[in-house]
Amino acid sequence: MPRSNGLLGLIGVILLLFAGVTGFLTRGRSSFDLLYIGVHGLVGLFALIAYLSAGVENLRRFVGERSTKYGANMIVSSLLFVVILAALNYLSARNHHKFDLTEAHVFSLSPQSISVVKNLEKDLQIQAFVEGGINPELRDLLTGYGDQSAKLSYQMIDPDRQPELAERYKVSAYNTVRLEYGGESTTITQPNEENITNAIIKVTRTTKKTVCAIEGHGEPDTDELQDARGFAAVKNGLANENYEVKKILLASLEGVPGDCSVVLVAGPQKPYTEHEIKVLDEHLKKGGRAVFLIAPRSGEQFATMLSSWGIKLGNDVVVDQVVRLFQGPALGLAPLANTYAPHEITRDFKQRTIFPMTRSLQADTAGKKGLQVTELVKTSPSSWAETDLDGLFLRSEASLDPAADRKGPVAVAAIVEAKLKEMGSGDGEARLAVFGSVEFADNRNLEGTYYNRDLLLNTIDWLVGQSDLVSIRTKSVRASRVQFTQDQGTVIFYLSVLVIPELLLLAGLVVWWRRE
């Protein structure tokens, strides 16, 4: 076989190889890719054919040679070996076991998470919307979940490259994780093990919880989407967490319907009838759950009832004029709050919530048994509870009057746990939450800049007592220290940087010298 002919064959193979690799890497997306692949493929093929046809005789002889047989044998057996190894690796990757040598088992899921995942009955899909589709830590965490059950699968999504998915699932921030199980779905915005596990618990729970919004007194409409004062955002947020929101006209009912997990009393403009107040009170006394949003200058009839449950409604409006700095000339009627009581509702809460047009609340359990009241959210020390409402609303004036006004921080949200047995009215536990503001939860503020949504939804979760939610401490490699004196530091430097390499170098020199 002439040498140049052999070269032609070799060039053909190389060109075809480059065409193949380019096709694999670029998938022929642009016309240049196609040109490159096409030219290489054609020329390569031509060269190979030329080589083969020029020497059919040579080829026959070449094929007949012993070395060709051995060579082919070697290639085939090597390929077979690679295939077998790849298959074994696939199996080992599918059935693997992990040993976490960190002291706190940082890279292992907690037993709670494992049992939750192992109990999955249907397929659970997790979509993580992260910047650029890359978040190694979150991926490791989700892989940990995936390792526990074949029913759980996850996907990392770059919302900028797949905006249609982000739009469809209303994802507006990076690091949002969406879980879908059966027909249910939920999203979380701070993906860590605790939140993911609790989200799984939420979506896998089959019974729907119902929030009953009382209507008939000019309450904000839970179907009103356009109006900033509407409550559709509350409804959507709750629907996302697996709640159903139902409107009820309490005046026409004997009692609160049995399927109401939580009763929502949101900003009544007109007074409730005595019957309605009585029904609500009885509902609570039977271990019911309710949330009250009572704005200033409204719902005064609730004051008596709520005070029997340990909460005193202030007849005032909370003013915090620090806000003026950012909002121009204003009275400061939208105080921001970032002081939270330690409670499972506000655990890990570091963000601010806004309470526009809010009254103050006070725990008042004197002489009442079985009540545990927590002042959940407090405004800043620069705020105060303004009692001169005429001055405020007629003359647009507000100033701290130390005699009448309460100086901040003042509570604007509070929750009550009532042990009914100790109160002498039955068995079990009643829970209620009271907010001093209605606008706090309207369309504009619930989905706005602040964390009102998380606060309200966490509160409702707590009210319905989702006690199977677990708490998992975030784990990390334990802190460790090193301590040495200046002199010891010098020893370390000499030993690690100088002495050992020096000894090796000297040993080498000695060996070289002796051999020379």
Partner 1 sequence: MKNVLTIAGKELRSYFVSPIAYVVLTGFLLLGGWFFFNLLARFNFLLSMYTSLRNPEAMTRLNLNEFVIAPLLHNLSVVLVILVPVITMRSFAEEKRGGTYELLMTSPLSINAIVLGKFLGAFVFALLMVGLTAVYPLILMLYGNPEVGIVASGYLGLLLLATAFIAVGLLTSSFTENQIIAAVSCLVSLLLLYIISWPADTSGEVLGAILRYISLTEHFGEMVKGVIDTRDLFYFVSVIVLALFLTHRSVESIRWR
Q: Is 513 in the site for partner 1 (CB under 8 A)?
A: no
Can you tell me which of 7, 46, 70, 404 binds partner 1, judged by CB under 8 A? 70
Q: Is 71 in the site for partner 1 (CB under 8 A)?
A: yes
Q: Is 54 in the site for partner 1 (CB under 8 A)?
A: no
Where does this chain touch partner 1 (CB under 8 A) — which range of 313-321, 441-449, 451-459, 498-506?
498-506
Where does this chain touch partner 1 (CB under 8 A) — which range of 112-120, 175-183, 211-219, 507-515?
507-515
Q: Is 99 in the site for partner 1 (CB under 8 A)?
A: yes
Q: Is 182 in the site for partner 1 (CB under 8 A)?
A: no
Q: Which is nearer to partner 1, 53 or 67 (CB)?
A: 67
Token pair in block for residue 337: 């709050």
Nearest to 241 by CA among 435, 461, 463: 461
Q: Which is nearer to partner 1, 24 or 32 (CB)?
A: 24
Binding mask 426-465 for partner 1 (x = CB under 8 A): ----------------------------------------
Q: Which is nearer to partner 1, 191 or 230 (CB)?
A: 191
**In contact, 110 and 193? CB cutoff 8 Å:** yes
Q: How far is the CB of 434 from partner 1 (least distance, A)?
A: 33
Q: Is 80 in the site for partner 1 (CB under 8 A)?
A: no
Taking the C-alpha atoms of residue 454 and residue 326, their distance in angstroms, rounded to an integer, is 24
Q: Which is nearer to partner 1, 110 or 240 (CB)?
A: 110
Where does this chain touch partner 1 (CB under 8 A) — which range of 14-22, 84-92, 285-293, 426-434?
84-92
Q: Which is nearer to partner 1, 106 or 225 (CB)?
A: 106
Per CB under 8 A, contacts with partner 1 among 323-342 are none
Q: Virtual CA dihedral for 96, 97, 99, 105, nearest 10 degrees?
A: 100
**In contact, 158 and 132? CB cutoff 8 Å:** yes
**In contact, 442 and 228? CB cutoff 8 Å:** yes
Can you tell me which of 72, 83, 85, 228 binds partner 1, judged by CB under 8 A? 85
Three-point CA angle 182, 188, 191, nearest 5°: 115
Q: Is 350 in the site for partner 1 (CB under 8 A)?
A: no
Taking the C-alpha atoms of residue 121 and residue 102, their distance in angstroms, rounded to an integer, is 32
Binding mask 118-147 for partner 1 (x = CB under 8 A): --------------xxx-------------
Q: Is 226 in the site for partner 1 (CB under 8 A)?
A: no
3-state secondary structure 297-328: CCCCCHHHHHHHCCEEECCCEEECHHHHHHHC
Q: Which is nearer to partner 1, 86 or 330 (CB)?
A: 86
Q: How far is the CB of 119 from partner 1 (least distance, A)?
A: 24
Provide the pairing of β-strand 209-214 with 243-248: parallel
Taking the C-alpha atoms of residue 144 and residue 27, their distance in angstroms, rounded to an integer, is 32
How many chain residues touch partner 1 (CB under 8 A)? Answer: 55
Can you tell me which of 57, 103, 164, 487 binds partner 1, judged by CB under 8 A? 103
Q: Which is nearer to partner 1, 60 or 94 (CB)?
A: 94
> 3-class DSSP state for residue 469?
coil
Residue 384 amino acid letter: W
Q: Virtual CA dihedral for 481, 484, 485, 486, nearest 10 degrees?
A: -100
Token pair 């009210």 is found at 463
Taking the C-alpha atoms of residue 438 and residue 358, their distance in angstroms, rounded to an integer, is 8
Nearest to 463 by CA among 288, 233, 236: 288
Binding mask 391-430 for partner 1 (x = CB under 8 A): ----------------------------------------
Q: Is 156 in the site for partner 1 (CB under 8 A)?
A: yes
Token pair 């509160």 is found at 459
Where does this chain touch partner 1 (CB under 8 A) — which range of 37-45, 80-88, 171-179, 317-325?
80-88
Give the bridge partners for 313, in sequence order.
361
Taking the C-alpha atoms of residue 148 and residue 168, their distance in angstroms, rounded to an integer, is 29
Can you tell me which of 10, 35, 404, 509 binds partner 1, judged by CB under 8 A? 509
State yes or no: cis peptide before 296, omega within 30 of 0. Answer: no
Q: How far is the CB of 503 from partner 1 (least distance, A)?
A: 9
Q: Is 163 in the site for partner 1 (CB under 8 A)?
A: no
3-state secondary structure 37-80: HHHHHHHHHHHHHHHHHHCHHHHHHHHHCHHHHHHHHHHHHHHH
Q: Which is nearer to partner 1, 137 or 282 (CB)?
A: 137
Token pair in block for residue 121: 């009955």
Q: Which is nearer to partner 1, 395 or 473 (CB)?
A: 473
Per CB under 8 A, contacts with partner 1 among 462-491 are 476-484, 488
**In contact, 401 and 388? CB cutoff 8 Å:** yes
Beta-carbon-side half-sphere exposure of residue 209 (alpha carbons within 13 Å): 24
Q: Which is nearer to partner 1, 154 or 462 (CB)?
A: 154
**In contact, 311 and 416? CB cutoff 8 Å:** yes
Q: Is 287 in the site for partner 1 (CB under 8 A)?
A: no
Taking the C-alpha atoms of residue 131 and residue 175, their distance in angstroms, rounded to an integer, is 7
Q: Is 366 in the site for partner 1 (CB under 8 A)?
A: no
Q: Is 96 in the site for partner 1 (CB under 8 A)?
A: yes
> 3-class DSSP state for residue 175?
coil
Taking the C-alpha atoms of residue 472 and residue 376, their distance in angstroms, rounded to an integer, is 22
Where does this chain touch partner 1 (CB under 8 A) — which range of 3-11, 52-60, 96-104, 393-401?
96-104
Contact footprint for partner 1 (CB under 8 A): 66-67, 70-71, 74, 77-78, 81-82, 85, 88-89, 92-93, 96-103, 106-107, 132-134, 155-156, 476-484, 488, 492-493, 495-498, 500-501, 504-505, 507-509, 511-512, 515
